[in-house]
Structures are given as structure tokens and as C-alpha cells.
Amino acid sequence: MLDPREYKDWQIAQVAEKNMPTPGLWQRRLGLQDDEIIPYGSVAKLNFLKIMQRLKDRPDGKYIEVTAITPTPFGEGKSTTSIGLIEGLGKMGLNVGGCLRQPSGGPTMNIKGSAAGGGNSLLIPMTEFSLGLTGDINDIGNAHNLAMVALNARMQHEYNYDDENLAKKGLRRLDIDKSRVEWNWVIDFAAQCLRNMTIGLGGKMDGFTMSSRAAITVSSELMAILAVAKDLQDLRERIGKIILAYDKKGKPVTTADLEVDGAMAAWMRNTINPTLCSTGEYQPCLVHAGPFANIAIGQSSIIGDRLGLKMFDYHVTESGFAADIGFEKFWNVKCRLSGLKPNVSVLVATIRALKMHGGGPAVVPGRPIPSEYVEENCGLVEAGLANLLHHIGIVKKSGIKPVVCLNSFATDTPAEVDIVRQAVEVAGARFALSEHWEKGGEGALELAKMVKEACEEPVELRYLYPLTMPLQERVDLIAREVYGAVGVDWMPEALVKAKAFEVDPYYADFATMMVKTHLSLSHDPTLKGVPKGWRLPVRDVLVYAGAKFLCPVAGSINLMPGMGSDPAYRRVDIDVETGEVTGLF
């Protein structure tokens, strides 16, 4: 085991990968049949339908969810903790695995870096995991952009031909309103130059001229659909219901109207099967669905969790961002859609984040960490506890008693740790200090033991709201009970939409997928700790008809992140002698 204070993540990964199980070895270790594993180089896809059919009568394992407090812009190590927990449970000799989300090329090549964990709690093979893996994001991008190609081509042909000529080509006029095109193009990079653009410039044969835009691929509705689909048939049906635009009478224009839904499903046929990767200590970990948690569900897939619960006695999954966003969606959307009930939730916190919420100076990616975060400051830690306690309260509202994991940093002092431990225990939650980043599974044993103990306690899962509750009431309840707002202010356009959705039975079973910043409990990313006396502004309600989401939008959310001035790609390269990738983090 290498010392992560002396070696980079990619160097630690390269050492671990020398003894990583091959697909053939995984097949023997996990008792898989020949037709249940599909090798892709050093990793493999697992045939979801075949394995589930064989294991349908096997009882589910323990279901462990990982969330966090409101993070600094660097994140607080949920993926690192998830991997460390898997390694810790593995050290205890338990049959454990997990399912994590696939990282996007946008943050991987930007400031945040890969989502492969860190130190000695890494997911391997790190290079493949970080750079496309088995192609799911690429397939989603192709399927998504195919819909945009079909839409623009149809608009061009309808502009150039009359109804008689369209009929000769087997087409009917859809009369698409160019000002109400809802979809965009996607690319899996942070490319702010594509946020607003004009397409179709040139001549009559160069497409329909219109304003357009691009988003990052993992924000695609197709990724949201993959995360919540139950099987291939469900995926196919949902793709056909995607609303791409509206016609001039306000009627939705779907992928099925354009007859592109079947081809989109064909592009995505392989995405239905999770990819099997490995922790740095060689426990199995599935990878399925993507990271975008602001507007989508921000979870590894229902398919991945269903599969993991059949294959493993302990299955670890992760929710995007903090408990106010990720856990709330896991609790009220994912668990309801899947029918799965978690045994425990792990709430990740760091001394660094608590100091930020206690009034510490701003933490800015790309700039040195202020001294307050690397020197003992018990006052800042104590002042920041309110955010942690609020998140403990969110989890407890679901009926789950959380385990708080303090993700250890070398600069944390015993006095600072003791302040957190005492506050957590007074709040009625379990506490574990975990050193998985430095020591891998050995450093996560305290956490693993606490989680195993918590899994033996009964859980009576209580949803925050019934499905019969109208949209406006749901949003108000989430704002008050989860975020801590004193109320909700609906902008006129959003209110009109909300009322229309409430009276239309088509939307009766749509999930409520809140859209807000992850950097604050409020809608304002500059408000840290637990803001008081504020109201949640809802400025729009987006509809994802294929995923069956209604997305109330609070604040300003950008689906295309920008590239920073010191991006990670500046340090990524290859060793021309070995072909190995260097510089990933």
C-alpha cells in the first residue's frame, strides 16, 4: 500500500491494477454463468436480465446509502468514503459490493477531476473508469444528438416542402414551433462556448436555421431515464415519451412523433447492463448511470442497486451532493420507484466543510486553501455543526438513524474531532472517524463496524409526502422540512405551469425532482451553515416526460458548466513507452 501523501492517485491505481481480477476471475469469484458476463478489456458488463432471473429467489442483501453535509466546492469525499466502506466491510470478511455513478468527462478534464475516489480508497481501473469506461455516456450522447438531428431535419423538410410532397415521403406536418424547442445538443465536456448558438447557417440544404444550445451529456434526460428504468422494456417505453418541442398549437412533439425513439433505444441497448469494476482492495463494485444531480436524480441506477442487492450481502450506493438534494431524491423518488428499502444512511462530513459553514473564508477551486482550514480552529468547527445537525435531521425524518462518517484529513486535530463526535452522539446518531483515504479498508474498520451494527436495526421508511399530494404542496413541504425555508415564492410562469400539471391526470404519477444549488441548503450558494428566514423562489417547472419527472427550478441552474483557468487536462498525458495514462486525479 502506497502512502497517498507521497504518491498521486493515478500512481496508487497503477500499482493496484497489477493484481486486479480479470473478467474471468470475477466470473469464478462471483459464481457467474458464461452468458452473464460480457468482457470489455480489463472490465466487464454484467447481463442484468440473466443474473436477475437466476437470483430472483435470493433474499436481498443489506442496502447502504451514502450521502453528505453541504459540501465545499471540492466535495467532501462521498465516493472515497463509499469505496473505503466497501473495503472496510471486505476486511471484515463480508460479501460486499456497491454501485457508483460513472464520471463525466466535463469535471474529469476540468477542476474537480475524476470521481474514482482517492488515496487508498480508489476505484480501478482508474483510467478506464475516468475516460469513458464501456461507452455508456457515449451511447447516451449519440442517442440524444440523434433526436436533435431528427428534429432539425424535420423542421428543414417541413419548411422546404408542402404537405403533398411531405406525404409522398411518408411524413405528416408536425408544425414545430422553433421558439419552443425544449431539447439541446450534448457534449461530455465543460464547453461554455456552446451554451448559446445559432445552427443551420448557410443555404437551403444546411438545416433549419434556429437558436440552439448545448448541455453536458450527463444532464441528458436519457441519463435520468437510465437511472430509473427497471429493465430494457421500461427504458424503451420511456424513450418514446420524451418531449423534444411543442407545435404552434402548444401540443408536445415527442421522439415517437419523429419516429426516432426506436433508433435511440438501439443506441442505448448496451447501457442497460452495469459495468463491473473493482476497489483498490479487490472488492466488486458496479458502475451505472451518471453524476448529474441538480436536475436529474443524481443516483447510481435502480438496475445497479437491484443487481447488487441480489449479488452481495452488503450493497453500498451513493447519492449525489448533500442530503438535502441527493438523499431527498433517494428517499422520496428512487426508493419509491424501486420499492427498495435502505437499512442505513452514511452521512459524510469533514472538518474542512464544518469550518466553512462556521464562517471560514471562501473555498475556491484552483486557489490555495486558507490557513483556517489546515490549522486547529475549534470555534469554526463548533459554529459549523448546525449544518451537520440539520442533515442528520433530514435523514432521521425518513425513519433511518444515520451513521455520521467524519472523513479524516491529516490536518484534523483530536480536539476538533471530539467536538464533532460529541455533537453527533447527542443528536442520536452513530459516529465513526474513518481514515480510509490514507489506510484503505483498515482505516475504515470503525466505520464498517458501525454500519454493520446499524444494518441490524429495523427501519420503518416514511416518505415525506404521499403521491396524491399536489405539486405546489410537495414543493412547499420539501422547502420547509428539508431545506429549512419559511415558505415558497412561485414566479408567475412557474405558477401557471404548476397549476396546469396539477389538474392534468397525465402528470399524476410524475416524480417531484427539485432543482437547486448543492452549495447551500437554500437556493443561494453564498448562504452557508443553516440559513434562517428565507423563502425558496421557484422560477420555472421543467418536464421530463420520458423520465416522468416534474422539475421545479429554484435559482439559476446551468446545464453546461464552464472550463476553469487551470483545468485538469493540463496534467494528463501518456507514457509513450507503456501507453499508461498519467496525471489523472
Query: Over the stretch 93-116, which tens digit does the pLDDT of each residue have?
Result: 999 999 999 989 988 999 877 878
pLDDT at 294: 61
Q: Does 561 reside within a domain?
A: no
- Is 78 designated active site? yes
Q: Does 4 reside within a domain?
A: no
Of 178, 409, 480, 499, the active-site residue reads: 409
Provide CB contacts within 8 A for 411, sequence distance 6+.
351, 373, 374, 375
pLDDT average, residue stretch 288-305: 83
Q: Judge contact between 514 and 551, C-beta under 8 A.
A: yes
- Is 511 designated active site? no
pLDDT band at 204 (very low <50, low <70, confident <90, very high): confident
Which residues lie across from 65 on neighbouring strands? Answer: 317, 345
Same-domain pairing of 419 and 279: yes
Residue 293 has pLDDT above 80, yes or no: no
- Is 72 designated active site? no
Same-domain pairing of 436 and 307: yes
Residue 456 has pLDDT above 90, yes or no: yes
Residue type, 465: Y
- Is 68 designated active site? no
- Is 249 designated active site? no
Q: What is the DSSP string of 331-378?
A: IIIIHHHH----SEEEEEE-HHHHHHHTTPPPP-TTSPPPGGGTS--H
- Is 437 designated active site? yes
Q: Any idea what the CATH number is for the domain that residue 62 is in?
A: 3.40.50.300
Q: What is the DSSP string of 26-90?
A: HHHHHT--GGGEEEETTEEEE-HHHHHHHTTTSPP-EEEEEEESSPPTT---HHHHHHHHHHHHH
pLDDT average, residue stretch 38-61: 97
Residue 252 has pLDDT above 70, yes or no: yes
Q: Any idea what the CATH number is for the domain that residue 140 is in?
A: 3.30.1510.10
Of 45, 101, 306, 352, the active-site residue reads: 101
pLDDT at 76: 86
Rounded Cα gap, residues 437 and 12, in angstroms: 11
Pairing, β 210-212 against β 117-118: unpaired
Residue 258 has pLDDT above 70, yes or no: yes
E strand or H helix at 266: helix 261-267
Final residue in a domain of this structure, among 258, 282, 306: 258
Same-domain pairing of 252 and 397: no
Closest among 373, 304, 333, 288 to 547, alpha carbons compared: 333
Would you give the distance in Å from CA 321 to the centre of its chain?
8
pLDDT average, residue stretch 264-288: 97
3-state secondary structure of 284: strand
Q: Does 505 reside within a domain?
A: yes
Q: Any idea what the CATH number is for the domain that residue 550 is in?
A: 3.10.410.10
Q: Does 463 reside within a domain?
A: no
pLDDT average, residue stretch 83-96: 98
Of 62, 68, 70, 78, the active-site residue reads: 78
Of 67, 80, 108, 127, the active-site residue reads: 80
Same-domain pairing of 284 and 431: yes
Q: Judge contact between 263 and 146, C-beta under 8 A.
A: yes
Residue 295 has pLDDT above 70, yes or no: no
Same-domain pairing of 120 and 153: no
3-state secondary structure of 565: coil
- Tally of domains within the chain: 3
Same-domain pairing of 226 and 374: no
Same-domain pairing of 252 and 112: no
- Is 293 designated active site? yes
Same-domain pairing of 165 and 251: yes
Residue 266 has pLDDT above 80, yes or no: yes
Q: Does 580 reside within a domain?
A: no
Cβ–Cβ contacts within 10 Å for residue 478, how many?
Answer: 23
Q: Does 78 reside within a domain?
A: yes
Query: Over the stretch 461-497, which tens digit does the pLDDT of each residue have?
Result: 999 999 999 999 999 999 999 999 999 999 999 999 9
Same-domain pairing of 307 and 427: yes
- Is 330 designated active site? no
Q: How far is CA 88 from CA 4, 20, 36, 126, 434, in A?
A: 18, 18, 28, 20, 10
Same-domain pairing of 386 and 275: yes
Of 437, 490, 510, 549, the active-site residue reads: 437
Residue type, 225: I
Q: Does 279 reside within a domain?
A: yes
Same-domain pairing of 224 and 244: yes
Query: Over the stretch 536-556, which tens digit does the pLDDT of each residue have?
Result: 999 999 999 999 999 999 977
Range of the domain at 81: 9-133+271-455
Residue 319 has pLDDT above 80, yes or no: yes
Same-domain pairing of 416 and 294: yes
Q: Does 583 reside within a domain?
A: no
pLDDT at 424: 98
